[in-house]
Structure 1
Amino acid sequence: MLFFSLFAGASSAKAEAALNVNADGAILVDGETGKVLYEKNADTVLGIASMTKMMTEYLLLESVKKGKVKWDQEYTPSDLVYKISQRTDLSNVPLRPDDKYKIRELYEAMAIYSANAATIAIAEKIGGSETNFVKMMNDKAKKLGLKDYKFVNSTGLNNRDYNGQQPQGTGAEDENVMSSRAVAKLAFHLINDFPEVLKTASTPKKTFREGTTDQIKMDNWNWMLPSLTYGYEGMDGLKTGTTDFAGYCFTGTASRDGKRFITVVQNAKDASGQGGYKARFDETRKMMDYAFSNYTKEEVLPKHYQVKGHKTIPVVKGKSDQVKVYTKSAINMVILNGEKKEYKPVLVLDKNKVNKKGELTAPIKKGEKIGTVTIQPKNGEKVSFLTEEGQKKVQVDLIAAQDVEKANWFVLMMSGIGGFFGDVWHGISKTVKGWF
């Protein structure tokens, strides 16, 4: 199929004019298609701190789905995991070296409380060692099409916190880094490939090992969950991150009225230039408010839409010399309020289906794919999507609306004869005209 880009840069310009996000890097995207609605230094590589854990979550959920790991499997802490778990200066739940822990409770500690030792435990369980797991993280990032990233551990801690026991092949001062676009792309894959992650990520509080001497109250670090300090309607994920290197970071996602958005802020600051927990949530709120107030999900093209000037396609060797075509389904997309009329359909015929004259060859079956229809804004400005898969969500099949049977041999022969004599007559006519 021929490839066409979509264009709509005016949306980005309006967003930049309306927003002033105080962060070193930021991005706002549609959670369903990955359409980028706003960005600031989105390709600058910055620290990500515990937003790293989204990749660990992805690999765990993938392993569970493939049956490589089970939720009720048990894990006995390694020496490193035990030592890290006892550090109260890091986000942790206490783990004993002589106890066993189910994968599910380690996952909940990681996703809700950003527990670092629990995260390393999961990495060891899946990869055999955190060193192997880090390789899996980088390999998966490449497979997901991420750019501008580097994973050196499973947690987002600075490697110095490992006290010399960091993953092999990484330096003592190494940090996990990504661009805002790459973080958003990871989050996009996580919530679309494994939407169940939001059930855990949206848990405001839970008690780890309740009823034991090791019980600890886990308050979700995402204080924008509706019942928490900076509660925001529809917020149900996803991951915070804070270190001296990365600053205050947050990947948020919220859903309302059939719309979902994903935001990322890296090293967020307040108006005075100071970082803080409130700053990352305030800057996230700016983007979320803008998105929910200014964007709507619209049916831009209806099902069975016929493109003007291309309602039929010529057919050769058929009982009919043309076939009616229309879109198989509707095209829905998040667009700025009131801009539905600013888009136009773009038809692309499958070059393997038509000849050089743009004709189809019979027989043709009703419902047969003839090409695709996508939409593009009339102003011709560019819009970007996080993934090709997301972009294809605003592209639909163009199909035949009816059968066209192949003509029988006699009709084809007579047509050929008519064509032959037509060509002869055309040649004679040109010659005679040349005499005069």
Structure 2
Amino acid sequence: MIKSKTSQLLKLALSASLAFPIFMTGTTAFADEHEIEIDADASLLIDFETGQILHEQDADEAKGIASMTKMLVEYILFEEIEAGNLSWDSEVTISDYAYAVSQDYALSNVPLHSGGNYTVKELYEALAIYSANGATIALAEAIEGSESAFVDRMRALVESWGIEDYELYNTTGLNNSYLNGNHYPGSDEDAENAMPAKGIAKVAMKLLEDYPEVLETSSIPVKVFREGTEDAISMRNWNWMLEGLAHERADVDGLKTGTTAFAGATFTGTAENDGQRLVSVVMGAGDGFTNRSQRFEETAKLFDYGFSEWEYTTLVEGDVVLMDVTPLPVKNGLEEEVALKTTEALEYYLPDVRNEDAISYTFKPNEELLNQDGEIEAPVEAGTVVGELVLDDQEGIDFLESEAQNTIPVAAADSVERAGFFTVFSNLVKDFFVSLRDRF
């Protein structure tokens, strides 16, 4: 990824004592978090490569996800293709259930024939471009034998990704009332899929990370289903931010819309600009029926904000000796101390590096390497990781995953050989008498 980087090497202060662990703090230019108002029930903006959250609004509360559910179907389909269980040319026979749903033109659908055969690719394109519900059910049945079994697989998948707050009852995201009694066992007549914005963002991030080829189809503005046959129907992508559509934006190439009365107008979008990819989620941006543009208008605001208001900033350079840091004391070495250096850069998106606020960090040593006096035993080899530099909790620097990159390893800058026998013996004697004195 190509990023504009503003280097601002931290000045660090390290102190050590006989009884307490070593610590360090530092400051750098930082800005008050810019605020952006998004007219939706929930919204989220994430940098794809780092997982850093650039904006969030009510992103932890489960809300209706509607047809954004189908990203899970896409992921599992790609898994099956990758495993060799299906090919794009594999034929799928349409069940009575998939046929019945496909004939409901109050919903998004392509016409399917009961007992008819369609290729996996045809059904996938209908799902990805036109959000076709009957086609989605047909794929789920082809993969797992029944939609309910496929829902079980969806549930296991999201839980494996650490998503716990969710409700999944079907593959389409429709309200159960549209499914002609084909409900997930134990689910209510009006049950509907739900997940927090952060949850559906994880789904999108996993899909893009593991199967980026999804963008080849999600970026198609218009395609004819079964062109040249009596079933031909023009599929205009419900993502109106694609080329030639009502809210065209050159950098947008996905990902999935959704609309129900419960969920309102929802959209998980993605755009790439100058090597940076962003992933956005907008939920409940109007009802989706009287104002189908609002979710795209709000998404455009998010992308403008993400691409123009945040700058990728190097807070700590990689592979540099921390000149202003008190070196780490060395026990039984030819040298009494060893300087510390970074092993990689500590980098984040900051909203505006020109304003000055404090960001603090803590150096946390690997205590297993230190004695009770905070010393490391010689010999010490250059490059040995002796601890890590940790970003303290800071408002405005958050990540989608809790194990995000908010630390960098810190290593010994030089090698320190072990001292000779007489020096080591002298230190042992000294330690013995100090220990004896402390007892009495």
- Is this a same-fold pair by TM over 0.5? yes
Cα distance change on mapping 1:100 and 1:48 into 2, 3 Å: same
2-side partners of 1:21 and 1:32: how far apart?
Answer: 23
The alpha-carbon deviation at position 52 of structure 1 amounts to: 0.9
Point out the more displaced range, 56-65 or 294-303: 56-65
TM-score, with length taken from structure 2:
0.83
1:278 is aligned to 2:300: no
Match among 294, 304, 316 for residue 319 of structure 2: 304
Q: Alignment partner of 1:71: what SS?
A: coil
Contact 2:215 2:254 in 1 (8 A): yes
Cα distance change on mapping 1:12 and 1:268 into 2, 3 Å: farther
1:187 is aligned to 2:198: no
1:25 is aligned to 2:25: no
Deviations 1:343-381 (A, max 9, x none): 45432222333333333334444433322224458xx53
Match among 363, 373, 376 for residue 357 of structure 1: 373
Point out the more displaced range, 62-71 or 219-228: 62-71
2-side partners of 1:149 and 1:258: how far apart?
Answer: 33
How do residues 197-236 of structure 1 correspond to structure 2 at under 5 angstroms?
Answer: 197-236=214-253
Cα distance change on mapping 1:105 and 1:403 into 2, 3 Å: farther
Match among 362, 376, 383 for residue 346 of structure 1: 362
Aligned to 1:384: 398
Match among 135, 146, 152 for residue 118 of structure 1: 135
Aligned to 1:288: 303
Structure having the larger proportion of residues in helix: 1
The alpha-carbon deviation at position 275 of structure 1 amounts to: 5.2
Point out the more displaced range, 316-325 or 25-34: 316-325
The alpha-carbon deviation at position 13 of structure 1 amounts to: 5.0
Q: CA RMSD of the aligned region, Å?
A: 3.2
Q: Figure out how many residues of one structure are paired with residues of the other and give that number.
A: 412
2-side partners of 1:198 and 1:311: how far apart?
Answer: 50
2-side partners of 1:12 and 1:239: how far apart?
Answer: 32
2-side partners of 1:105 and 1:11: how far apart?
Answer: 49
How do residues 257-272 of structure 1 correspond to structure 2 at under 5 angstroms?
Answer: 257-269=274-286
Cα distance change on mapping 1:424 and 1:47 into 2, 3 Å: closer
Deviations 1:98-125 (A, max 9, x none): 4332323322221111111121122222
Contact 1:45 1:179 in 2 (8 A): yes
Aligned to 2:429: 420
Contact 1:314 1:322 in 2 (8 A): yes
2-side partners of 1:417 and 1:354: how far apart?
Answer: 20
1-side partners of 2:373 and 2:192: how far apart?
Answer: 58
How do residues 78-117 of structure 1 correspond to structure 2 at under 5 angstroms?
Answer: 78-117=95-134
Which consecutive residues of structure 2, in runs of 5 or more, have no partner in the other structure?
1-23
Q: Alignment partner of 2:284: what SS?
A: strand
Aligned to 2:18: none
2-side partners of 1:72 and 1:359: how far apart?
Answer: 65
1-side partners of 2:109 and 2:190: how far apart?
Answer: 21
Aligned to 2:72: 55
Which consecutive residues of structure 1, in runs of 5 or more, have no partner in the other structure?
432-436
Deviations 1:54-86 (A, max 9, x none): 122222223333444433332211221122222
2-side partners of 1:207 and 1:337: how far apart?
Answer: 46
Equivalent residue letter for 1:136: R
1:395 is aligned to 2:407: yes
The alpha-carbon deviation at position 143 of structure 1 amounts to: 1.4
Structure with more contact order per residue of length (Cα contacts < 8 Å, sep ≥ 6): 2
Aligned to 1:334: 349
Cα distance change on mapping 1:338 and 1:94 into 2, 3 Å: same
1:373 is aligned to 2:382: no
2-side partners of 1:192 and 1:321: how far apart?
Answer: 47
Match among 261, 276, 284 for residue 244 of structure 1: 261
Equivalent residue letter for 2:204: A
Point out the more displaced range, 124-133 or 307-316: 307-316
Cα distance change on mapping 1:48 and 1:319 into 2, 3 Å: same
